[in-house]
Amino acid sequence: MIELIIPAIISCILAFFVVYFTTPSLIKILVKKNYTVKDMNKQENVMVARPGGISIILGIVVSEIVLYGFFQLNEILAIIITTTAAFAIGYVDDRKVMGGWFKPLTLAIAALPIIFLGAYSSDLAFPLFGDVQIPLLYLGLIIFMIPITGNTINSIDVLNGVATGFMVIASFTLSICLFILQNYEIAIVSLPLGFVSLAFYKYHKIPSKIFPGDSGALTFGAMYGAIAIIGGVEIIAAIALLPAVINSFLFLSSVKRVVEHRQIKNPTMLTSDFKLKTTDEKTAPITLVRLILAGGPLTEKQVGFAIFKLAIFSGILAIITAFMMGVSL
């Protein structure tokens, strides 16, 4: 067990502190270069640095390379390559707003290293019922899953701290589930995602000093999806991600097309006392935030905490599911 504990500790420390110490310098550089965007949920003209994906991918790559030095697993290489590709896709979109289909199509390509490196099992695990073998269909699932998880996290990145706080909860939940299922090596490989998210949350929480941007959100989502595939916990991962999945479903069902989220009307607006409320625009999309605000105006922090509560609830359901799958094994 000691051969697993040492790499876990080293990689987690690196993941956290690389992001913790590089993000302040990144903020200064972005502000100096005028790479800032307006915080749309603030009454005053607040400009925030973006994108923060650079420090996020740095923390992930450094920690995963260290883990590869210990384990030499193709699965780690697949995570590094797929996640780095997702970062690059997001960075392109941060610099220039691309069409609605750009991210889903390119993220599907980013999923290919998982297939080429054989870093997956074609068995889909269900609680109580066990594994179902779907070798050909599973290849399609891999190609679809990375765009889904990437864009799902990206779509919930709408308020200060929400995307990173949500990822802290979801990623640590996924790691706990992998430990429950005794998939120890992949559980350790998954831990840096949680610690990177936790470190970045310090700068992304209200009031945000930096936004992750598409490069950060897609990096989070792609790594989460890659871990789910490689660890064989796709169902568990979907349950832990449920609030964000519901948000994406509501968004897509209301706009009825694949569209870049920055090109649509904001579903919320500010009241005179700086609270968020649902917009009067009929063409604005339905989102999870809009449903939370249906009961009346709330502060940005209150809405964020409501989403975190939903994430914790989904995380508990995912852990229960992992125990059920452990029993079936």
pLDDT, tens digit (0-9, with 9 covering 90-100), for 186-226: 999 999 999 999 999 999 999 999 999 999 999 999 999 99
Residue 73 domain flag: yes
Domains of the chain: total: 1
Higher pLDDT, 254 or 72: 72
- Domain containing residue 139: 2-239
**pLDDT tens digits along 262-317:** 556 667 777 877 788 887 777 778 889 888 998 899 999 999 999 999 999 999 99
**Residue 169 counted as domain residue:** yes
- Return the pLDDT at 51: 94
**Considering the entire predicted model, what is its pTM?**
0.93
For residue 70, what are the contacts with CB-CB under 8 A and spacing of at least 6? Answer: 3, 6, 7
In a domain, 255, yes or no: no
Our measurement of the distance from residue 217's CA atom to the centroid of its chain's CA atoms, rounded to an integer in Å, reads: 6
Q: Is there a domain that residue 22 lies in?
A: yes
Q: Does the residue 307 lie in any domain?
A: no
Token pair for residue 289? 């935030």
Instruction: Tell me what percent of the residues of the chain surpass a pLDDT of 90.
Output: 67
pLDDT tops 80 at residue 85 = yes
Judge whether 67 and 76 are in contact, CB under 8 Å: yes
Is there a domain that residue 299 lies in?
A: no
CA distance 19 to 197: 9
The answer to whether residue 247 sits within a structural domain is no
- Which H helix or E strand runs over 131? strand 130-133
